[in-house]
Chains A and B, each alone.
Chain A
Amino acid sequence: MTGAQLSWLRIKAVARRHYYVLLRAPHRLFDVTIWPLVDVLLFGSIAAFVHPGHAAAGRLAAGYLLSGILLWHVVYQSQIALATGFLEEAWTRNLLNLMVTPLREMEYVGGVVLFGMIKLFMGLAVVSLTALGFFAFNVTDLGLGLIPVAAVLLVCGWVIALFVIALVLRFGTGAEALAWGILFVILPLSGVFYPVAALPWLLRPVAEALPTTHAFVAGRALFDGRGMLWGELGIALASCVVLGAVVVVFLTRMLQAFRARGYISRYT
Chain B
Amino acid sequence: MDEVVSLAGVTKRFGGVAAVNAIDLVVRAGERVGLLGPNGAGKTTTLLMLLGVVAPDEGSIDVAGHRLPKGRSAAMAQVGFAAGYLPLPERLKVDEYLRFYGQLYGLPDPDIEAALGRFGVANLARARGTDLSSGQRTLVGIVKAILHGPRLLVLDEPTASLDPDVALRVRTGLQALCRDEGTTLLVTSHNMVEVERMCDRVVFIASGRIVADGTPADVASAFGGADLESVFLRLAGREEPDHKHERNQQTERPAG
Contacts and interface: CB of A to CB of B under 8 A. Distances in A.
Interface stretch (B1-9, B78-86, B226-234): B78-86
A24 B79 contact: no
Most buried by A among B53, B101, B144: B53
Interface in A94-122: 94, 96-104
Interface residues of A, number: 33
Given A92-B89, A93-B87, A94-B89, A264 B104 contact: no
Contacts of A96: 53, 83, 86
Contacts of B48: 262, 264
B108 interface: yes
B76 A102 contact: yes
B53 A92 contact: no
B167 interface: no
Contacts, number: 90
Given A92-B89, A264-B53, A102 B108 contact: no
Interface in A181-224: none
Contact of A100 (B53, B85, B90): B53
Interface string A7-22: 0011011101100110
B90 A92 contact: yes
A96 B144 CA distance: 13
A13 B144 CA distance: 15
Contacts of A93: 86-87
B81 A21 contact: no
A26 B61 CA distance: 44
A261 to B, nearest CB: 8
B92 A102 contact: no
A34 B96 CA distance: 28
Contacts of A12: 103
Contacts of B54: 259-260, 262, 264
A interface majority secondary structure: helix
Contacts of B154: 100
Contacts of B29: none
Contacts of B69: 259
Contact of A16 (B51, B81, B89, B100): B100
Contacts of B89: 17, 21, 92, 94, 97
B53 A101 contact: no
Contact of B85 (A1, A10, A16, A268): A268
B221 interface: no
Contacts of A103: 73, 104
A4 interface: no
Interface in B64-116: 69, 73-74, 76-77, 79, 81, 83, 85-87, 89-92, 96, 99-101, 103-106, 108
A259 B90 CA distance: 25
A6 interface: yes
Contacts of B87: 92-94
Contact of A97 (B12, B52, B79, B86): B86
Given A13-B103, A101-B104, A268-B85, A25 B91 contact: yes
B177 interface: no
B98 to A, nearest CB: 11
A20 B103 contact: no
B55 interface: yes
B45 interface: yes
A268 B73 contact: no
A98 B91 CA distance: 16
Interface of B: 12, 14, 45, 48, 51-55, 57, 69, 73-74, 76-77, 79, 81, 83, 85-87, 89-92, 96, 99-101, 103-106, 108, 128, 144, 154
Interface of A: 1, 6, 9-10, 12-14, 16-17, 20-21, 23-25, 92-94, 96-104, 256, 259-262, 264, 268
Given A6-B106, A264-B48, 7 more contacts: A9-B108, A13-B100, A24-B128, A92-B87, A94-B87, A102-B104, A262-B54
